[in-house]
Structure 1
C-alpha cells in the first residue's frame, strides 16, 4: 500500500500506526533515507492494501475506523485532503485494509500465467521481497527468482524442474504466501517464529524452472510447435507423462556431475518426453540459468522439489558435508519423509551442487503416487512439507 509522507511523520510512527515491523517497512523502501524523509515522498507499507469506501448516511471516521479495528489517523493518512468533519454521502475515501488471507490458490492446475499473476500480487502487497528475471526458457518465458530476507545464510529452493511435477510450484508459492503473511501479521508457522528466519536468511526461490514444459502438460502445445512436440512424444497428444523441457531434454539430467554415466545408460538417445540428458551437459537455457545462479550466489543450502515418493536424497558420492546428516534427520522428523543418503543417479542439480560447493543439497520427492500427482493430495503434501521448508531456514 502506498502512502504519502506528511510533515513530522517517521517510519517508526508508521510501524506503530499499522503494527508492522519497522524492518519490513525499511526493506520495502530501500531507496528511502529514514533520516532524511521528504514531505510527500511515497512510502510502501507492506501487508496492507487500500480499499475504496463510499460514505453512507451516519458514517463518521470514528465509526469506520472502529468497525475495521484501525486508527482514524491511518484513514487520514490515505486521504490527506479529507475534512473529517464534512463527510459527504456518496463520497469515496480510501481505507487501509490489513491482508490476512492468501492471494495464492496453489491447489489448481498451476501454470506459468498463474505463477506470474501470483508473483506480481505478492510483490505489490509485500514489497520487501524482490523479483529478478535470471534468464529465459527455450520459448522465451521468464525464469524468475524471488529473494526474501537479509540474513547471511543463503538458502535456495526451486520447483518444477520436471514438467509433470507442476504441483511443486503451487506448494512452494503457497508456502511463500503464508510465510509473508506470518511476517507482516506477527504470527507463527508451526509454532515457529518467522521473523528470526527472515533476519537470519537470504532466501532464493525459483518457483518454476521449466515453464515451457509445465504449460505443455497443462495446456497442450502451441500450434507452431505442435507437430514437432507430438513427434517427440511418439505420436501421442497426451502430455501427462512429459517431464522434459520443450526440446525433449530432461533438465535434471543436465548437470556435469558424472553426466557421461547418465548419457550412456539412459535409454532415450534422442529428444524424448523424459530421461534424455541432452547432447552435452548444460545444453539447455534453463539448466544454464540454474547453474549460473549457483555459481554467482554460492548458496549455503539447496532444496529441489520434485514428486513423488515421500522421501528425499541428501548425499552424492561422499561429497556431502557432515552437517547434511543433521539437516536430513530434522527434515525427516518434521515431514515424515524417508531420508536416503545415496541413490544410483548422477547429473542432477542437487548432485552437481554438492560436487561443486561441498554444501548441503536435497532432492525432495513430495507426495506419493503416479505423476502428475492429483490435486486431491495438495493439502496433505503442504502439511507434510511446511515444516521441512521452515527447517531449511532454521537448521
Structure 2
C-alpha cells in the first residue's frame, strides 16, 4: 500500500475488550472511488471494524488508522466520514428537510444545501417524496432518505453498517442498484458490512471475509465468492455441502451449494443410475422445509448432512416420507485449495454439462 494512497485504511489494527481480542487486521485499504464489502457472520467483528476505522470504538484500539495514506485524527475523520446505520433515523420535518440536514449541520446555508442535495434526491428517486413527513415513510423509503442524506454531504468515506438487512428483497435490490449507480464516478471510499453475499456482489468491487475478528480472504468480489479458501469461508459463502477427499477419491475437499445439488427420489441399481455413481451419494431423508418456489431437503449421508433445493413446494411435490433412502447428485462443486492458493479452483461438471463451460473438469469426479 502506497504511503499516499487516497482512501481509508489501517495498519496493525487490533481491538481488545479487556484481555479478549475482538479484532486483528494487519492491513486494509479501501481506495477512493471504490467499494469494499466486509462479509461475515453475526459476531465476526464487522461493526467493531467500522467503529475502529472511525475512531469511535469504546474498546481499546491499537494500530494506525490512515486517511489518504496519513495517520488520521478524530477531527479529520469526523469531517471525512459519514455512516448509514441498520435502522434509519428520521428527524422531524419533510423528506427534503431530512436530506439537507447533514449539510446544514456542517454550516451550509439552507439555499446552498438544497442546491447541492437535489441531484442526489433525483439520483436516489426521492423526487416524489420530498414534501412527505419523513416519519410517515416505510423503512425502505426511510433508508433511502438516510443514504441520500449521507451522499449529499459528499463524504470522502461512506460507512454502511448493514443498512439493507431490514428490507424486503425487492426494495433491497432496487436500493442497491440505485446506490451503485450513484457511487459510480464519485471519489468516495465506501465500506459495506453485511452477512449477505448477494449484497456484496451487487455493490462491491472487492470483498473481505471476516470470521472471528480476522480477515480470512480478500480480493475481487466475484473471485472471492466463487473460490472459497477453506471450510469456514465456504460455509459463509453458501457452500453448505462439504465432501471430504475420502468420499470423492480426490485430494481436495469439494464444496457445493444446495442449488447445485439434485435429489433423486429413490436409489436404484439400474444401469442409468450406476452410470452416475461417481458423482452421487446415498443417504436418508431427514427433513423438508417449504421455501415457496423450492423445497429444502436435508439428507444424512456418510459425508455428513447434505442440503438440496428440490423444485416445487413440498405440498405439491411428491417427496418420499422422512426416513426414506434417497440419492443426492452433485451437479456442480468447487475444490478447496488450502495448501497452494495459487492453484486454480476447479469445477465439477454435472450430467449434460459441456466440458469447459465453467472451468476445467475435476480429475476425480464425485
Q: TM-score scaled by structure 1?
A: 0.24
Which structure shows the higher strand fraction? 2
Q: TM-score scaled by structure 2?
A: 0.26
